[in-house]
Amino acid sequence: MPLPLLITGVAGVAGYNALAYFQQKYPGQVIGIRQEDNWPLCGPGIEACNAEDRQALARLFDRYQFRSVLNCAGNCALRSCELDTRLAWRTNVEGLVSLLSIIAEQPVRLVHTSIDLVFGGRDGGPSAWDGHEEHQPTDPVTVYGKTMVAAERLLADWMPQSCTLRISLPMGISFNGHAGAIDWIQSRFKKGRPATLYFDEVRTPTYTDCLNRVYERALTKNLTGLYHAGGPRSLSLYQIAQIVNRVGGYDPSLLMGCNRIEAGPMPPRAGNVTLDSSKLAAELGFTPFDPWPLDDAMSPTHELWHYDRQGQCGSPDLLASILYRNPRSAIS
């Protein structure tokens, strides 16, 4: 893989876990950047630099002479993006403009992460269909999704030799304990507060352990074009919360469910946005993702599944070992 490597957006779950993975594998050769005002996120190899600040970004390139970039930057807070579209555009589009203006005509490998929410979604539960394919037109219902579509199109025009990976929910640890899907759900249960999740918003979550290896393959193999990078198991947000509740050993009565239409208009919610990742598997020559969670017995089968503990006591430690991390990776 061309080194040194720059990773943007390390405050997010995908970027944070990628930084740890690549820094361990290539010590001294990997730098991550975070927004300047995010001062709690610090440590070796982390630089404060707003991605949309071209001059500051250019200085980093002059200093480190990056030969690869993994772009995980983006504001995925749905409500914040709806209420401040300018902020969403600056973070999700202008940051990429700055990056491309520096590297578009340089020998720099770029892998860019997009999201399944570039689709508005179909109706139906996890088994309704096989998922979106890359050739299907985008139709986002959120400002976040619209800005991510704009970033994809910008990249296709300016740097077609790059690679775009549309991911779904990355399942891994976060630096602050509340940046990811697992974090938010678990934080509610820990405090004895109810959490309401949707029966009809369906995603294809992936372990960050698997995503990290895909990023590395994409950078090393010189992958170009657009690929879907969602896991093989489709789950509704309600089912994901069921898993967190049961594995974490939390009070099952705290989990509530509803359909998107009952949640109100702000922010808009997508439907079934599952991704078909067979194109990526064919290009790589192997199936890149394990199901999340790895154990099939941890996949909900009905709406009260999380009440059925089968004599097993869940715990936050168990959750950390099998939901935040891929048990198969730990063994290998």
**CATH number of 170's domain:** 3.40.50.720
Q: Per the structure, how many domains does the chain have?
A: 1
Residue 63: CB partners within 8 Å, gap ≥ 6? none
The torsion angle over the Cα atoms of residues 151, 152, 153 and 154, rounded to 10 degrees, is 50
Q: How many CB atoms lie within 10 A of CB 281?
A: 17
Cα(202)–Cα(120) distance, rounded to whole angstroms?
11
In order, the DSSP letters of 86-116 are HHHHIIIIIHHHHHHHHHTTSS-EEEEEEEG
Identify whether 302 is part of a domain: no
Residue 178 has what pLDDT? 77
Residue 330 has what pLDDT? 62
Query: Could you tell me if 13 and 179 are in contact, meaning their C-beta atoms sit under 8 angstroms apart?
Result: yes
Q: How many CB atoms lie within 10 A of CB 178?
A: 11
Q: How many CB atoms lie within 10 A of CB 63?
A: 11
Identify whether 328 is part of a domain: no
Note down the domain range covering 69. 5-177+205-229
pTM greater than the 0.75 cutoff: yes
Identify whether 117 is part of a domain: yes
Identify whether 63 is part of a domain: yes
Residue 332 has what pLDDT? 47
Identify whether 308 is part of a domain: no
Cα(64)–Cα(76) distance, rounded to whole angstroms?
28
Sites in the chain below the pLDDT cut of 50: 332
Query: Could you tell me if 200 and 125 are in contact, meaning their C-beta atoms sit under 8 angstroms apart?
Result: yes
Identify whether 272 is part of a domain: no
The torsion angle over the Cα atoms of residues 83, 89, 91 and 96, rounded to 10 degrees, is 170
Query: Could you tell me if 107 and 42 are in contact, meaning their C-beta atoms sit under 8 angstroms apart?
Result: no
Tokens of 26: 């290539």
Residue 270 has what pLDDT? 94
In order, the DSSP letters of 4-47 are SEEEE-TTSHHHHHHHHHHHHHSTTSEEEEE-TT-TT---TTEE
Identify whether 253 is part of a domain: no
Residue 276 has what pLDDT? 97
Identify whether 167 is part of a domain: yes
